[in-house]
């Protein structure tokens, strides 16, 4: 982090103070229930049976909400594992839990800094998603530009993040992303640096220059998952040992409560104890497949499809029971669809209709925020972008990049030609000679759809959007056949709020003190976002942050 | 993308052939839980597989780890090779788990099997035995 930063925090920053006050931890629950004990009598505890009283006293078994009012049964307290059930004990310097876009870089970084490293992974292989990860090139960027970008991201995060962590990404990501590119190439990945090219809107921020290193693991179906598998090969050559199909069960604590290892379960049902001389780094990702946890932290997610599997929030329970603090309710979510049609057209403000075929939004809203209009069970994240055969000329000046009709065929499931650079099971773009036929292909109600288009064309003709107030230069009618539609499904890519950490990515306890031996990175780490949705300002911020914090945390723990 | 009934039929047939090959050795049934027709558990039982061969504790049967499946059926890499021709793609080798997806994600014993891919990949119209 830059030393001449004018906003150095003295003592505890506002973000950390807030999470300590309102976040969820064992300590905060215990102290708050003590204060609220007088209220228990009012609830009629005296009349409940002994059995119910025992159930009510579930604080020993399950986590509690920050006010002590709700039992968080999605985070059961780990049951003790007897020494006789432990088949093997292995000792390393650093244990990384989770082999994804932060775990694999952390393991390699620790190994390159001299540590003996093990990675334990629930899946049979390293797993990650997406293609793009970004960093800032310090040498060719204005410092004012970097600070302007940080300020822009704070705004995107609704000012609910830890600025120190954003700056840590900003000032270290160039080095870290370049390192990931180099090491992944050594593992056989065709990864490329796209530089500043994909970052169209932020090459200058407030008039200042910012340049980027943009790692691209692609095109699809090649993704960062393949990229992390290549990086893992480099890590293995550097001495990192991977243990697959071994979900972590619980942390091992020393006498003073410090974290000294992890117990993991093999496919044979036997346990292995991994001891860590220097530290345990949790990189287990989000909790989108843990329904109860989603309902608690982000009830908005109820009807959306999930893009990932097995993201059950294991690391949250591990860190919570070690004394860690979970960011309070109001976690940040990420919902996208870059697969149904061209990614470069996702934010272009064509007519959008919901699943039934009705216009529902001022289309200048970013795709990353559309999910907020489509949360109900019927829409469940579905909508369609609709345009006619004049789109190449009429939308030519819009931000984004138009794909010509020939190129759109690559996204059409009904077009028989082989697909390139896409997931052919997820493309969902359609063309039709009539609006009714297009409605059927988009799975809309034809009558509703046709009425919506008719109304929209009237608004376009009047040059005034009386229904949603969209600017006149974004109103182009849908009147000349053939007609096009992109049926997008907003599903959960990831959730990106997590455990309270300091700038060493060390978990903090309810007193704001670092928990010895416990580090948290990737989407399990808190403090980096905070808005309702993940911002698409920096294309590849999520993976860029994962790489950067993995790179830095691995090095930090190795040097302890 | 339309269904491909003939290929699906061949896939189903090859799978049945594969399963029968394994069960041909035959173990006589000492007890069998009554299952519904079409459930894999019923098929297993009709082949003479006992409850205890899958469940360690028959009185309190718990979820069966995948190791039990591959103990009889063999390594998943070989299964993936057998289904390499299945369209639109090989269900036993995928981007999420390689060849090591847990059998139980799709193939259930005591309830109807499911096509685990389908909720996301709506054109992966596999018939799951």
Looking up residue A312, the CATH number of its domain turns out to be 3.50.50.60
A413 neighbourhood in chain B, CB within 8 Å: 1, 123
Q: Which of residues 68-97 of B touch A (CB under 8 A)?
A: 88-89, 95-97
- What residues pair up with A549 in beta bridges, in sequence order? none
Do A325 and A358 lie in a common domain? no
Decide if A70 is inside a domain. no
Q: Which of residues 33-52 of B touch A (CB under 8 A)?
A: none
The DSSP symbol for A390 reads T
Decide if A435 is inside a domain. yes
- What residues pair up with A383 in beta bridges, in sequence order? A354, A488
Quick one: pLDDT band at residue A524, thresholds 50, 70, 90?
very high
Contact predicate B53/B41, CB 8 Å: no
A125 neighbourhood in chain B, CB within 8 Å: 97-98, 100
The pLDDT value given to residue B28: 37
Final residue of a structural domain among A489, A514, A530:
A489
Contact predicate A124/B97, CB 8 Å: yes
Quick one: pLDDT band at residue A77, thresholds 50, 70, 90?
confident
Final residue of a structural domain among A489, A509, A532:
A489
Of B67, B88, B98, the CB nearest to A267: B67
Contact predicate A392/A378, CB 8 Å: no
| pLDDT average, residue stretch A180-193 | 98
Residue of A412, A425, A488 best to disrupt the B interface, most CBs of B under 10 A:
A425
- Would you say the ipTM is above 0.95? no
Residue A46, pLDDT > 60, answer: no
The DSSP symbol for A328 reads P
Do A307 and B120 count as a contact with CB atoms less than 8 A apart? yes
Residue of A126, A226, A309 best to disrupt the B interface, most CBs of B under 10 A:
A309
B89 neighbourhood in chain A, CB within 8 Å: 425
A380 neighbourhood in chain B, CB within 8 Å: none
Q: How many CB pairs below 8 A link A and B?
A: 35
Quick one: pLDDT band at residue A10, thresholds 50, 70, 90?
low
pLDDT in tens, A258-307: 999 999 999 888 999 999 999 999 999 999 999 999 999 999 999 999 99
Cα distance between residue A208 and residue A36, in whole Å: 53
The pLDDT value given to residue A79: 87
Do A513 and A384 lie in a common domain? no
Contact predicate A101/A229, CB 8 Å: no
Instruction: List the domain range (segments joined by +) for residue A457.
Output: 338-489
Percent of chain A past pLDDT 70, that is, above it, reads 92
Do A425 and B124 count as a contact with CB atoms less than 8 A apart? yes
Cα distance between residue A288 and residue A307, in whole Å: 9
Residue A358, pLDDT > 70, answer: yes
B65 neighbourhood in chain A, CB within 8 Å: 267-269
Do A469 and A325 lie in a common domain? no
pLDDT in tens, A492-505: 999 999 999 999 99
B1 contact A CB<8A: yes
- What residues pair up with A253 in beta bridges, in sequence order? A259
Final residue of a structural domain among A446, A464, A489:
A489
| pLDDT average, residue stretch A249-261 | 95
Decide if A5 is inside a domain. no
The pLDDT value given to residue A28: 62
Quick one: pLDDT band at residue A68, thresholds 50, 70, 90?
confident
Quick one: pLDDT band at residue A59, thresholds 50, 70, 90?
low
B125 contact A CB<8A: no
Do A305 and B100 count as a contact with CB atoms less than 8 A apart? no
Spell out the domain ranges in chain B.
5-105
A464 contact B CB<8A: no
Do A382 and A426 lie in a common domain? yes
Do A322 and A301 lie in a common domain? yes
B119 neighbourhood in chain A, CB within 8 Å: 305
CB atoms closer than 10 angstroms to residue A90: 14
Instruction: Quote the mean pLDDT of chain A.
Output: 92
The pLDDT value given to residue A390: 98
pLDDT in tens, A319-356: 999 999 999 999 999 999 999 999 999 999 999 999 99
CB atoms closer than 10 angstroms to residue B10: 13
The pLDDT value given to residue A60: 67
Decide if A190 is inside a domain. yes
Do B65 and A268 count as a contact with CB atoms less than 8 A apart? yes
Of A124, A225, A305, the CB nearest to B119: A305
pLDDT in tens, B49-78: 999 999 989 999 988 889 999 999 999 999
Helix (H) or strand (E) run with residue A557 in it: helix A541-558
Do A324 and A379 lie in a common domain? no
Do A225 and B122 count as a contact with CB atoms less than 8 A apart? no
| pLDDT average, residue stretch A379-399 | 97
pLDDT in tens, B3-62: 444 455 445 444 544 444 444 333 333 444 456 777 999 999 999 999 999 998 999 998
CATH code of the domain containing A429 = 3.90.700.10
| CA atoms within 13 Å, Cβ hemisphere of A43 | 10
Measuring CA to CA, which residue among A327, A328, A319, A330 is closest to residue A75? A319
Residue of B67, B71, B80, B95 best to disrupt the A interface, most CBs of A under 10 A:
B95
B95 neighbourhood in chain A, CB within 8 Å: 221, 223, 225
Residue A420, pLDDT > 80, answer: yes
Of A124, A269, A307, the CB nearest to B100: A124
Cα distance between residue A443 and residue B3, in whole Å: 19
The pLDDT value given to residue B122: 87
Of A269, A305, A309, the CB nearest to B96: A309
CB atoms closer than 10 angstroms to residue A145: 21
Do A446 and A361 lie in a common domain? yes
Can you read off the two tokens belonging to residue A333?
């979510």
Do A190 and A326 lie in a common domain? yes
A491 contact B CB<8A: yes
A267 neighbourhood in chain B, CB within 8 Å: 65-67
Task: Please give the C-alpha separations between residue A349 and each of A345, A379, A396, A426, A428, in angstroms, as whole numbers.
Answer: 9, 19, 12, 22, 18
Do A498 and A481 lie in a common domain? no
Q: State the nearest Cα–Cα gap between A126 and chain B, in angstroms.
A: 9
Decide if A459 is inside a domain. yes
Decide if A23 is inside a domain. no
Angle at A131 between CA A130 and CA A136, to 5 degrees: 115
Buried residues in B92-124 as b, exposed as e (16+ CB within 10 A)? bbbebbbbbbbbbbbeebeeebeebbeebbebb
Cα A117 vs. chain centroid, distance in angstroms?
Answer: 26
Between these two residues, A401 and B6, which has the higher pLDDT value? A401
Do A457 and A391 lie in a common domain? yes
Do B65 and A491 count as a contact with CB atoms less than 8 A apart? no
A409 contact B CB<8A: no
Do A316 and A416 lie in a common domain? no
Can you read off the two tokens belonging to residue A120?
């334990």
Percent of chain B past pLDDT 90, that is, above it, reads 57
Residue of B100, B105, B106, B115 best to disrupt the A interface, most CBs of A under 10 A:
B100
Do A254 and A148 lie in a common domain? yes
Q: In total, how many domains does chain A have?
A: 2
> What are residue A433's phi and psi, to 5 degrees?
-85, -20
Cut 0.95: pTM above it: no
Do A123 and B88 count as a contact with CB atoms less than 8 A apart? no
Q: State the nearest Cα–Cα gap between A424 and chain B, in angstroms.
A: 9
């Amino acid at each position: 982090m830059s030393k001449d930063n004018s906003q150095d925090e003295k003592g505890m920053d506002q973000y950390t103070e807030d999470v300590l006050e309102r976040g969820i931890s064992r300590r905060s629950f215990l102290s708050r229930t003590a204060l609220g004990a007088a209220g228990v009598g009012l609830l009629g505890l005296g009349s409940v049976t002994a059995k119910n009283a025992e159930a009510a006293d579930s604080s020993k078994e399950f986590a509690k909400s920050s006010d002590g009012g709700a039992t968080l049964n999605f985070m059961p307290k780990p049951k003790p594992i007897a020494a006789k059930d432990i088949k093997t004990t292995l000792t390393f310097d650093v244990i990384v839990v989770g082999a994804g876009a932060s775990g694999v870089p952390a393991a390699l970084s620790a190994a390159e800094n001299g540590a003996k490293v093990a990675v334990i992974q629930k899946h049979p292989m390293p797993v990650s998603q997406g293609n793009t990860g970004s960093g800032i090139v310090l040498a060719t960027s204005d410092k004012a530009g970097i600070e302007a970008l940080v300020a822009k991201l704070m705004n995107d995060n609704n000012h609910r993040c830890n600025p120190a962590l954003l700056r840590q990404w900003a000032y270290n990501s160039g080095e870290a992303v370049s390192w990931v590119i180099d090491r992944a190439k050594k593992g056989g990945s065709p990864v490329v640096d796209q530089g500043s090219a994909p970052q169209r809107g932020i090459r200058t921020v407030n008039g200042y220059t910012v340049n980027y290193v943009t790692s691209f693991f692609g095109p699809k179906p090649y993704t960062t998952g393949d990229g992390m598998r290549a990086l893992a090969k480099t890590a293995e050559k550097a001495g990192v040992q991977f243990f697959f199909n071994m979900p972590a069960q619980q942390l091992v604590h020393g006498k003073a409560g410090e974290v000294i290892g992890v117990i993991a379960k093999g496919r044979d049902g036997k346990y292995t104890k991994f001891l860590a001389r220097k530290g345990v780094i949790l990189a287990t990702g989000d909790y989108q497949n843990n329904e109860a946890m989603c309902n608690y932290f982000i009830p908005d997610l109820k009807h959306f499809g999930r893009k990932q599997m097995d993201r059950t929030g294991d690391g949250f329970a591990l860190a919570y029971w070690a004394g860690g603090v979970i960011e309070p309710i109001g976690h940040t979510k990420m919902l996208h669809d870059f697969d149904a049609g061209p990614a470069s057209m996702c934010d272009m403000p064509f007519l959008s209709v919901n699943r039934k075929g009705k216009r529902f939004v001022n289309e200048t809203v970013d795709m990353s925020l559309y999910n907020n209009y489509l949360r109900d069970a019927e829409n469940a994240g579905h909508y369609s972008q609709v345009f006619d055969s004049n789109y190449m000329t009429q939308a030519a000046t819009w931000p984004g990049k138009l794909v010509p009709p020939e190129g759109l065929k690559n996204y059409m499931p009904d077009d028989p030609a082989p697909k390139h650079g896409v997931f052919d099971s997820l493309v969902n773009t359609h063309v039709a000679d009539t609006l009714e036929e297009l409605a059927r292909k988009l799975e809309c109600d034809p009558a509703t759809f046709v009425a919506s288009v008719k109304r929209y064309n009237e608004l376009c003709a009047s040059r005034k959007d009386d229904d949603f107030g969209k600017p006149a230069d974004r109103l182009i009618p849908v009147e000349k056949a053939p007609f096009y539609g992109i049926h997008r499904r907003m599903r959960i890519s990831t959730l990106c709020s997590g455990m309270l950490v300091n700038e060493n990515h060390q978990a903090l306890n309810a007193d704001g003190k670092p928990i010895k031996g416990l580090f948290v990175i990737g989407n399990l780490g808190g403090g980096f976002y905070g808005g309702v949705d993940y911002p698409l300002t920096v294309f590849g911020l999520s993976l860029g942050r994962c790489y950067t914090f993995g790179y830095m945390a691995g090095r930090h723990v190795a040097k302890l | 993308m339309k269904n491909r009934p003939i290929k699906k039929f061949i896939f189903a047939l090859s799978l049945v052939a594969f399963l029968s090959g394994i069960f041909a050795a035959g173990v006589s049934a000492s007890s069998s839980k009554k299952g519904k027709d079409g459930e894999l558990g019923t098929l297993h039982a009709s082949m003479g597989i006992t409850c205890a061969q899958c469940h360690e504790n028959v009185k309190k049967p718990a979820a069966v780890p995948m190791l039990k499946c591959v103990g009889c059926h063999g390594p998943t890499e070989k299964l993936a090779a057998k289904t390499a021709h299945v369209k639109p793609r090989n269900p036993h080798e995928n981007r999420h788990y390689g060849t090591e997806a847990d059998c139980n994600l799709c193939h259930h014993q005591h309830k109807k099997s499911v096509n685990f891919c389908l909720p996301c990949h709506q054109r992966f119209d596999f018939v799951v035995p």
